[in-house]
A and B are shown apart, each in its own frame.
Chain A
Amino acid sequence: MNFELSDEQRMLQDTLRRMLDDSGDSAWSQLAEQGIFAALFSEDNGGLGGSGFDLSIVFEELGRAGTTDPIIESVLVCGRLIASLAADSHSELLGRIVAGDVQLAFAHSETTSRYELNRVETHADHHCLNGVKSVVVNANAAHLFLVSARIAGDVADSSGIALYLVPVNTPGITVVNYELTGGGQAADITFDNVQLTQNDCLSTDALIAIDSATAAAIVALCAQTLGAMETTVSMTCEYMRTRQQFGRPLATFQALAHRLADMLIEVEQARSAVILAAGHLDADAHSRDLHASAAKNLLGRIGKLIAEESIQMHGGIGMTDEYRLGHFAKRIIMADHRYGDVDFHLERFIALSKT
């Protein structure tokens, strides 16, 4: 047993923490310049790492700093999909993703798909694409959309989901952008007789790759949420030490101090869940998904506690747009609405535990 980071991992963590200290909401260009995205990919795919722990280190720091860049969606998920489905034919594109020179958006989820990765109504007949994708993160900045479309089977079948790489200015595409709660942007994208070619098709059966990329996204999002919770809890500690009511600091009120203690305990629980999920990211799919679901369920529950209690301890100031805390709270809560929520992963954990 050894829970220590390697020297290289510690260096990565230190570099990131220093870099992000004064980066504000967006760190994309700095991260790209410093070659940080390489940590998210294996050497085979032009990276320098790519393990679950590499991911958790990077995204925990991004979460701590409050970065809102769509790195999970654009770099990690799209990069991994291309790496696993078309590394040879698209090695140049992959290199540009790792270098941070190109932005992508994964157009997969639909209005009615909720958290089910297999539910795809958008369809492609003879490479002609029709359908609507919803809440596509980073669509506004993307140069390329990675679009899933059904080419065979019923709406919820596991097989028959193809993946297309589509330039955003292809005729027949309509994009409606909007802001996301907690930062960033997404869009609804309509594909109306968008004519593509065989060359645009990365895979005719992509669900296994989508599952795998989503597992990586879950590790990353959980780590990012852990980082956000660390900042939130440390802001709450600081506030309780300094805020005076009834002639003494809030910290001296036992009823509040004990609740803070529970928050600290739960953050350590969250950290362990992230470590478990990260450590199983490259295991077999069953073990990988079991641990990813455990982490996502637990982080959803703990996130709610941390976000709500931090606001409550702060009082009104915690609800203002001007103060950083509320923005962290929003990101923590909204993480529960991405890649499956508490209930979705509880059900999946139960199902996976039976087999």
Chain B
Amino acid sequence: MELNYSAEDIEFRDEVRAFLAESLQSSLADKVALGLSLSKTEYEDWHARLQARGWLAPNWPKQFGGGEWEAVKRHIFDEECALANAPRIVPFGLAMLGPVLHKFGSTAQQNYWLPRILNGDDWWCQGYSEPGAGSDLVALNTKAVRDADHYIVNGQKTWTTLGQHANMIFCLVRTDSEAKAQEGISFLLIDMNTPGVEVRPIVLIDGSVEVNEIWFSDVRVPIENLVGEENKGWTYAKYLLTHERTNIAGVGFARAGLAAVKRFASKEYSGGKPLIENPLFAARLAEIEIDLMAMATTNLRILSNASGTQAPSVESSMLKVKGTIIRQAINDLMRRAAGPNAVPFASEELEHSQLQVGPIRAGRVSMQYFNNRKLSIYGGSNEIQRQIIAKDALGGGR
């Protein structure tokens, strides 16, 4: 047993810290810390800075321009970025489609699409969920019918994160309605500028617009945009889902959130004393911190054993459940800390107006609380994760 990072790990961590201190503008970090939406340009600029440093695609194989980092190194990087309130790396091209193309894409697809992802030429989004296919993804119903050298796509995707910025979408579509559910699905790359594609924003309860509906009516997609074999898309989708979960514990986000609660509660007063000295509040804070300390170690234990970049399924399900519970508890504690000042609706407009009254005192803590209810819903709901964990231990059906 060795509970500490190696000298090499620490050297790398310091390197990441130095990079962040130099490259991350404090105004941008402040926006991230407040949970404000970033513009497309802000994401793209951040990607470009990472790419210039060679850190945009740490998980990719070297032959495709990646770093082939080990899991622990990746974890250090993710954690430092989160603690510094760096913009997240938009995962759709880099963490999701990239690995699928590495493994299942044709040489032509790899040569064309992968460099464009690294250069920021394309903004990808994910066309998985549908109104009738959420947790039960395999029930998806968007159809692609072959017509000579094209597929004709009809249907609707939903919960498409940042789809409003995207020019490309990777989609799961049904190419064989007769086959068993999993067997008639294909993986298609669709240009969002094709006639018949429509993006409709969905406003969430915190007032943010980060997810969208994507409608397809008679959209013509060239057959060279099929990834792998027709009707084998479910295999690729499952492969992708394991990649979606590699940073699922969100330890860095939780640490950053907990630090923010402590800062806030030191300045907020209750009964004439700093809130952080209130025994009830201090107890709640301490319990979450204890949970997080253990979860961070669980995360490292699992990462140390992981081979390559693919997270093992059951363990990543455990990390997803525990990680999201902890992050939601931190959001909950933060809104409580803000007291009556959490009630004003801190719209983004208000936040940008630099108004020095009312809402600005507590910022967007309520909005972040409500927004992060999504953590236990998306990426395979926590109910689905629990089913995976239980099934692994108990075997057999539900």
Chain A interfacial positions (CB closer than 8 Å to B): 109, 111-112, 114-116, 119, 134-135, 156, 176, 178-182, 186-188, 244-247, 253, 255-256, 304, 308, 311-312, 315-316, 318-322, 326-327, 329-330, 333-334, 336-338, 341-343, 346-347
> Which residues of the other chain, A, contact B269 by a CB distance below 8 angstroms?
112, 114
Encode B16-31 as 1/0 by CB contact (under 8 A) with A: 0000000000000000
9 new A-B contacts at CB < 8 Å, known A178-B344, A326-B370: A114-B270, A114-B340, A115-B339, A176-B355, A244-B132, A245-B139, A315-B381, A336-B336, A342-B336
> Which residues of the other chain, B, contact A181 by a CB distance below 8 angstroms?
342-345, 366-367, 370
Given A111-B341, A180-B343, is A316 in contact with B271 using a C-beta cutoff of 8 Å?
no
Nearest residue, chain A, Cβ from B134: A315
Q: How far is the CB of A237 from chain B (nearest CB, A)?
A: 17
B347–A179 touching, CB < 8 Å: yes
A134–B378 touching, CB < 8 Å: no
Given A178-B359, A319-B373, A320-B203, is A135 in contact with B340 using a C-beta cutoff of 8 Å?
yes
Residues 327-351 of B contacting A (Cβ, < 8 Å): 328, 332, 335-336, 338-345, 347, 350
> Which residues of the other chain, B, contact A347 by a CB distance below 8 angstroms?
280
A116–B271 touching, CB < 8 Å: yes
Encode B350-376 as 1/0 by CB contact (under 8 A) with A: 100001011101000011011001101
B281–A343 touching, CB < 8 Å: yes
What 9 A-B pairs are tightest by C-beta distance, nearest first? A326-B205, A245-B136, A321-B203, A179-B345, A188-B357, A181-B345, A343-B280, A188-B358, A114-B339
A316–B159 touching, CB < 8 Å: yes
B377–A178 touching, CB < 8 Å: no
Give the CA-CA distance A330 to B376 in the complex, in Å. 17
Given A134-B340, A245-B136, A334-B366, is A178 in contact with B345 using a C-beta cutoff of 8 Å?
yes
A186–B339 touching, CB < 8 Å: no
Among the interface residues B205, B207, B332, which one has the most CB atoms of the partner chain A within 10 A?
Answer: B205
Give the CA-CA distance A169 to B19 in the complex, in Å. 55
B340–A115 touching, CB < 8 Å: yes
A–B Cβ pairs within 8 angstroms, 12 of them = A111-B341, A114-B268, A114-B269, A114-B270, A114-B339, A115-B340, A179-B344, A187-B358, A319-B370, A333-B370, A338-B340, A343-B278
Indicate whether B158 reaches chain A with its CB closer than 8 angstroms. yes
The count of residues in chain B whose C-beta lies closer than 8 Å to any C-beta of chain A is 56
Given A114-B269, A116-B271, A330-B370, is A316 in contact with B359 using a C-beta cutoff of 8 Å?
no
> Which residues of the other chain, B, contact A312 by a CB distance below 8 angstroms?
373, 376-377, 381-382
Indicate whether B204 reaches chain A with its CB closer than 8 angstroms. yes
Indicate whether B383 reaches chain A with its CB closer than 8 angstroms. yes
Give the CA-CA distance A179 to B351 in the complex, in Å. 13
> Which residues of the other chain, B, contact A180 by a CB distance below 8 angstroms?
343-345
Q: How far is the CB of B347 from chain A (nearest CB, A)?
A: 7
Nearest residue, chain A, Cβ from B366: A181
Nearest residue, chain A, Cβ from B332: A304
The listed residue (B202, B366, B378) touching A320 by CB distance below 8 A is B202
Q: How far is the CB of A335 from chain B (nearest CB, A)?
A: 10
